[in-house]
Amino acid sequence: MKKKEKKQQNENPLHREYGLFRNIAFTLRNMIAYDKGFLFLVPLGVLCAPVLRYLWTFLSKFILDMVTGEGDPDGLLRLILLFAAVQTSATMLQTYFWNHIFWRYIRTRTAMLIRMNAKAMQIDFEHLEDPDVMDCFQKAHGACNSNNSGVEGMMRELTEFLRSLAVVLVGMFILGTLSPFAVVVMLVLAFVNFLVANHTNVVAKREVWDPLAPWWRKRYYFQNTTTNFKEAKDIRMFGLREWLLGRYRELNKIRYDAQKKNSKIWFWCSLFSVLLWVVSQAMVYAWLIYLVAEGRLGIGNFSLYLASSATFYGYISSLLNGISTLLARSRELDDYRSFLDFDGGDEKTEGKKLPKLPSYEFTFENVSFSYPKAERCALKNLSLTIKAGERLAVVGLNGAGKSTMIKLLLRLYEPTGGRILLNGVDIKEYDKRSYYEAFAPVFQQVELFAFPLEENVSMKEPGETDSAKAERCLIAAGFSEKLAALPYGLKTEMLKVIDDNGVDLSGGEKQKLALARALYKEAPVVILDEPTAALDALAEAKLYQDFDKLIGGKTAVYISHRLSSTQFCSRVAMFVDGEMAECGTHAELLEKDGAYAEMFRIQAQYYVESAEKEVAAYGEG
């Protein structure tokens, strides 16, 4: 079995096993780091547990001793009052313990969840398209997703283990005065129960829960798709409801089957545990009755040892099962720590800071790139120089490699072959965070964030946002009409996720907002990766030309599968099937009469037809 587990670990390089003791140390460090209150509360809970479990067992003994004539009647009242005072104090302290430790568990877990999400936002962009990395993230997310599993479950189980240990140690002392042999027998039976429970945990995780990692990712997709506003129109207009529900039911059947399998595994474990408990109690009863019959044990001590043995066995089983549960939580914590320790780039800052240079020139030297597990290169042997201050149009059909080239330039991906130079220096020598500052990208898919409009432009925190500058950039990007119509102007919240009165934007409005973002950043290099795909050809051409005037002497790269940007650009790079097929000025490529010229002729007729229709419409008006 160990060989099989090791083989599975080797097959998954993203998963690491840290071991129980290292995970306990990791948990304790995080508990103390995020909340110093644990230093007081955990010892308090450990102290209260044996007092509350055994206190009244002793009182029962003393009462029975008095009834049978073996005790001191005069001291009984004082004893009851003393026990009541101790019980009341311990109960109050334990109530304080439970009320104050519960929310600290949750606060620590959410802090660790934020830490994991911060990691997810820092790893290299390319990993977000790797299913193995996403499965690793999903497992880590599962380890932070509930009160009783993963990181919080580890905290709870560790605390309960220490409390159970205190009860067991006191029980061993009490029963040891009767028969050390009885203590050993109960320890052995409880240990056997522990071995079975631990093995069941291992089997359940390997056979049920680990294989479900892709299921959670798929469920998350279907959950979002069936409830997301963006997909709602397509679902209704194309009648996708029953089809999606069918797929959802098929997916949920996998979960149901896994749950049935898990229940079956644990049924046999629970049955075995009950049988061991019956055996242990039968042995204790038989031994105590024998001692009473022989006159070697009084009724008071019979009561004390009988109650103590039940408590002892229950807690030794709980303690050992707690070890099994700790091991299970430890394995879940492995998932969390594996993702945290995954070397995903994390915007490492050991590189040089990007200097403020008067100009930036980028050179692709025989650059190739393949997506993970892809059969062919998305970009092959690209050699191209983007000169400072020039306008470069990168054109080609969908899937030609245009966006891949931009992702490499932006360092969202790293080349699988060749290198990219910035003013003669390999861009890998710069730390990513400072490198990103050189670019103001506008992507095809424009995302709104649940922030006020002005922060959606600045992409900075409120205290760092220049409202006047954000307004100027919005007006320059053609957003002035929409801005005037917004209820709170620049302070209007976007989306309804956080603010019920939040506003969403149309596709064209989002594109203008994205252009305003690019203007606000004032980076020396501007990238437009097909942000105008939703516009018609003439509107796209006009927007490109207007924006080109706004960015002045900055370097600009325009990506499009339409040719509206090519005539005012310095050069045009034509991509076909992942390779740069042609490069030159618009006139040079037309004269060459190659792939670009053919594409231009095909598209030119649509520009002419659109223009004629527009003129006709104005004429009729």
Q: Can you read off the two tokens belonging to residue 6? A: 């090791």
Q: In the predicted model, what is the mean pLDDT of residues 229-240?
A: 67
Task: Look at residue 154 in the predicted model and tell me its pLDDT.
Answer: 93
Res 4 pLDDT > 90: no
Alpha-carbon distance of 351 to 430, in angstroms, equals: 5
For residues 77 and 388, which has the higher predicted lDDT (pLDDT)? 388
Alpha-carbon distance of 146 to 438, in angstroms, equals: 41
303: confidence class by pLDDT, cuts 50, 70, 90: low
Q: What is the pLDDT of residues 96-135, one digit of tens each?
A: 999 999 999 999 999 999 998 888 888 887 787 777 888 8
Could you give the C-alpha distances from 545 to 391, 482, 540, 551, 564, in angstroms and in order?
11, 21, 9, 10, 9
Q: What is the pLDDT of residues 18-38, one digit of tens each?
A: 999 999 999 999 999 999 999
254 CB contacts (<8 Å, ≥6 apart)? 212, 215
418: confidence class by pLDDT, cuts 50, 70, 90: very high
Task: Look at residue 10 in the predicted model and tell me its pLDDT.
Answer: 45
614: confidence class by pLDDT, cuts 50, 70, 90: very low
Res 280 pLDDT > 80: no
Query: Taking all residues of the chain, what is their mean pLDDT, rounded to a whole number?
Result: 81
Res 202 pLDDT > 80: no
Task: Look at residue 295 in the predicted model and tell me its pLDDT.
Answer: 64
Q: In the predicted model, what is the mean pLDDT of residues 373-383?
A: 85
The secondary structure of 119-153 as a DSSP string is HHHHS-GGGGG-HHHHHHHHHHHHTTSSSSSHHHH
56: confidence class by pLDDT, cuts 50, 70, 90: low
Top mean pLDDT of 21-35, 77-91, 252-266 is at 21-35
For 285, phi then psi, to 5°, come to -60, -45
Task: Look at residue 275 in the predicted model and tell me its pLDDT.
Answer: 79
Q: How far is CA 114 from the centre of its chain?
A: 8
Task: Look at residue 292 in the predicted model and tell me its pLDDT.
Answer: 62
12: confidence class by pLDDT, cuts 50, 70, 90: low
- What percent of the chain has pLDDT above 90? 26
Q: What is the pLDDT of residues 465-492, one digit of tens each?
A: 999 999 999 998 889 999 999 989 999 9
